[in-house]
Chain A
Amino acid sequence: MTLTAETSRSTARQWRERLLSGGSWTVLALLVVVLVVIVVINPSFAEPVSLMAFAKKAAPLVVLAVGQYFVIVSGEFDLSVGSLVGAQVVIAARLMDGDEALTWPVLGLMLVFGLLVGLVNGLVTTLLRVPSFITTLGMMLVLFGAIRLWTGGAPTGALSESFRVLGRKGFPDVPGQFQVPYALLVALVVVGFAVLLMRRPFGRSLVAAGDNAVATAYSGASVWWLRTRAFLLSSFLATVAAVLIGGFAGVTAQVGQGLEFMAITAVVLGGVALGGGRGTVVAAMVGALALEALFTLFNQLALPSTIRPAVQGVIIIVAVAYAARRRRT
Chain B
Amino acid sequence: MTAGTGAGTKVGTGAGSARRHHLGSTEIVYLALVGILVIAGVLVAVRGGNLFAQGNVSYMLTQTSLLGFVAVGQTLVVLCRSLDLSVGYVVALCSLIGATTMAGDPSRVWLGVVAALAVAAGVGLVNGLIISALRVNAFIATLGMGLIVKGFLDTRFKGPEGEVPLAFQTFGYTRIGPVPVSTIVMLLVAAAAFVLLTRTRAGYHMFAVGGNLDVARLSGVRTGRTLVLAHVLCSLCAGVAGLLIAARFGTGNALVYSYGLDLDSIAAVVLGGTLLFGGRGSVVGTVGGVAILAVLDTAFNVLDVNPFFKDVLRGVIIIAAVALYARRQIDPASRRVRFGTKGSAARGGDVA
Contact = CB atoms under 8 A, between A and B. Distances in A.
A213 B136 contact: no
A75 B332 CA distance: 15
A140 B348 contact: no
A199 interface: no
A82 B143 CA distance: 16
Contacts of A134: 266-267, 270, 276, 318-319, 322
A57 B317 CA distance: 37
Contacts of B141: 317, 320
B199 interface: no
A260 B269 CA distance: 22
Main SS at interface, chain B: helix
Nearest to B271: A134
Main SS at interface, chain A: helix
B155 A304 contact: yes
Interface residues of B, number: 58
A177 to B, nearest CB: 39
A320 B135 CA distance: 9
B344 A278 contact: yes
A133 B340 CA distance: 12
Given A134-B270, A149-B309, A321-B130, A309 B148 contact: yes
A274 B134 contact: no
A130 B352 CA distance: 28
A302 interface: no
B322 A324 contact: no
Contact of A273 (B322, B337, B344): B344
A328 B326 contact: no
A256 B136 CA distance: 27
A148 interface: yes
Interface in A139-186: 139-142, 144-146, 148-149, 153
B341 A275 contact: yes
A10 B308 CA distance: 61
A324 B134 contact: yes
Interface string B314-352: 111011001100110010100111111101110111001
B150 A310 contact: yes
Interface residues of A, number: 56
B143 A261 contact: yes
A314 B318 CA distance: 32
Contacts, number: 185
B309 A310 contact: no
Contacts of A36: none
Contacts of A140: 315
B315 A145 contact: yes
A273 B91 CA distance: 29
Question: By CB atoms of chain B within 10 A, which of A124, A130, A307 has the most?
Answer: A130
A325 B344 contact: no
B310 interface: yes
Nearest to B309: A149
Given A149-B306, A275-B341, A316-B140, A213 B336 contact: yes
B144 A316 contact: yes
27 contacts: A124-B323, A129-B326, A130-B319, A131-B270, A137-B315, A138-B319, A141-B318, A142-B311, A144-B311, A145-B314, A146-B308, A211-B348, A213-B335, A213-B336, A273-B340, A274-B341, A275-B344, A278-B344, A278-B348, A306-B151, A306-B154, A309-B154, A310-B152, A313-B145, A317-B140, A317-B141, A321-B135
Please list the 5 inter-chain residue pairs (A to B) with the smallest Cβ-Cβ separation, ordered nearest first.
Answer: A310-B151, A145-B311, A313-B147, A141-B315, A306-B154
Interface of B: 130, 134-137, 139-141, 143-152, 154-155, 263, 266-267, 270, 276-277, 306, 308-316, 318-319, 322-323, 326-327, 330, 332, 335-341, 343-345, 347-349, 352
